[in-house]
Amino acid sequence: MLEPFSGPAAIYGVQFRQGFDWKVDEINKAGGFKVGVDTYMIKPVYGDDKGVGSEGAKEAARFVYDEHIHYVHCLNWAAPEPIFIEGKVFLASCATNNFPSPDKPYRIMTALASESWYSTFWEMGYKFHPEIKKIAEVVPTGAAFEYWKDILNRIHAKHGAEVVMFAEYAGGTVDYYPVLTAVVAKNPDAVAISTGAKGDNDLIIKQIRELGYKGPLFGPSYGDPASAIAIAGAQAVEGFASNDPDYNSPLFPESTRQLYAEFQRRYPGQAFAVTTYIGYTGTELFVAAMQAAGSIDPDEVMKVLDDPNFTYTAFGQSGRKLGGYETYGMRRVAPIDVAYSVVENGKKVMKDVIAGSTP
C-alpha cells in the first residue's frame, strides 16, 4: 500500500489502510487464501509518499526491486507508475483520471471517473425529482471549471433540464452571499453544489437558505451531511440530497450490513469512508483474480482481469464484474455503488443505490 500516511492528504491514507488492514487480517486469520494447490498468507507492506511525487517514486522502487511486489494500492500514481510498469505491478487506484489504457497495462480503477459518478447520481436525482427543468450549479473556480461545465451540461441535458447558471466561487471564501444572491435571482427549480471542499459547501447551504431559497439542494459528491447540519441547522438541510450511503439500509444485502457492523466493532466511532471501502474491496479484487488465474503471476492474472466473465465479491456483494471504458481497450474499472440519500427530520435516509455505470 503506497499512500499519503503523512502530510495534508494523510486522512486518505489512514482510511485506505483501515480497509486494507481489515481485509488482510480477515484473510490471514482464516488461514490465508488458496491459489491452485498453494496457500498464501498476506504480508502487508506500506510506503508513505507524503503526497509528494518524488517520495512515491522512491517507495515504488523499494516495492519493485527490494520487496518484489506485484499488487499495490496507490492514490498518487503518476510518479510511481513507470517503475510499476517495468516491474509488472498491478496498480489499483481510486484516482478518477487513472484510466486503463494499452500503454498503461497494469492500471485498475477502483473508483468511478467523475462523469460516471455524477451521471449515476443524477439518474436517481431525476427519478425522485422529474419536475426539475431549470437547475443552477455552484462550482469552485479553477482549472477544472470548464471541464465541469461540459460534464454537467451534458448530464442535465440528458434529463431534459437546462443549467441556467454556473455560479463560480473561490474556495475558502467566508461570504458567499453575492454569488448566491445571483443564483436565487435566476429562480431555479433546483441548486446543485458540485465538487468543492466540505467546509465551503456547508456554508453555501447555510447562506443560500438564509437568502430565502426553498427549493431542493443536491450534493452529488458531498459525503456525510452531518457537518452541514451542524453548520446550517437541521431545518436548512432538510431535503438535501447527497451521495453518502447508509450501510445499515435494507437496500444493501444482509452480508454487506454485517460487514458494516464489523467495521464499527473494529473502528468504533470512526466514519466509514469510500476510501475505506476501496481499501477493503481492492484487496478482495486482487485475491479473487489470483484465485481465478490459479497463479500469482501478473501476466496470468491480467488475463482474468480482462475476461468479461470474471466475477468477484465486493463488500458482501457477489457477482460483481469489472466494467470498462471501451475506448481505452480495457475492462479494468471496478464498479462502485453510488448512493442517493436525503436528510429527513435531521437524519440521513438512503433512498436508492445503484452500481456506477461507465460510459
**Mean pLDDT, 10 residues at a time, the chain of 359 residues:** 92 94 97 97 96 95 96 90 93 70 80 83 97 96 85 95 96 93 98 89 96 96 89 96 93 96 95 90 96 96 92 94 67 86 95 80
Residue 296 CB neighbours (<10 A): 17
**Topology adopted by domain 2-112+254-336:** Rossmann fold (3.40.50)
Say what the pLDDT of residue 339 is. 94
Displacement of CA 59 from its chain's centroid (Å): 24
Contact at 8 Å (CB) between 237 and 214? no
Say what the pLDDT of residue 237 is. 96
Residue 282 CB neighbours (<10 A): 27
Closest of 75, 115, 102 to residue 91, by C-alpha: 75
Residue 153 buriedness (CB in 10 A; 0-12 / 13-18 / 19+): middle
Positions of CATH 3.40.50.2300 in the chain: 2-112+254-336, 115-247+340-355
Residues facing residue 139 across a β-bridge: 168
Contact at 8 Å (CB) between 28 and 41? yes
Contacts of 86 (CB under 8 A, 6+ apart): 64
Say what the pLDDT of residue 104 is. 78
**Topology adopted by domain 115-247+340-355:** Rossmann fold (3.40.50)
Letter for the amino acid at 114? S
CA distances from 2 to 37, 47, 77 (A): 30, 5, 9
Tell me the three cell numbers of residue 84: 510499476
- Residue 234 and residue 102: Cα distance in Å, rounded? 49
Beta strands in the chain (DSSP E): 2-3, 33-35, 38-40, 47-48, 71-73, 90-93, 107-109, 134-140, 162-169, 190-193, 217-219, 241-242, 311-314, 317-321, 337-344, 347-355
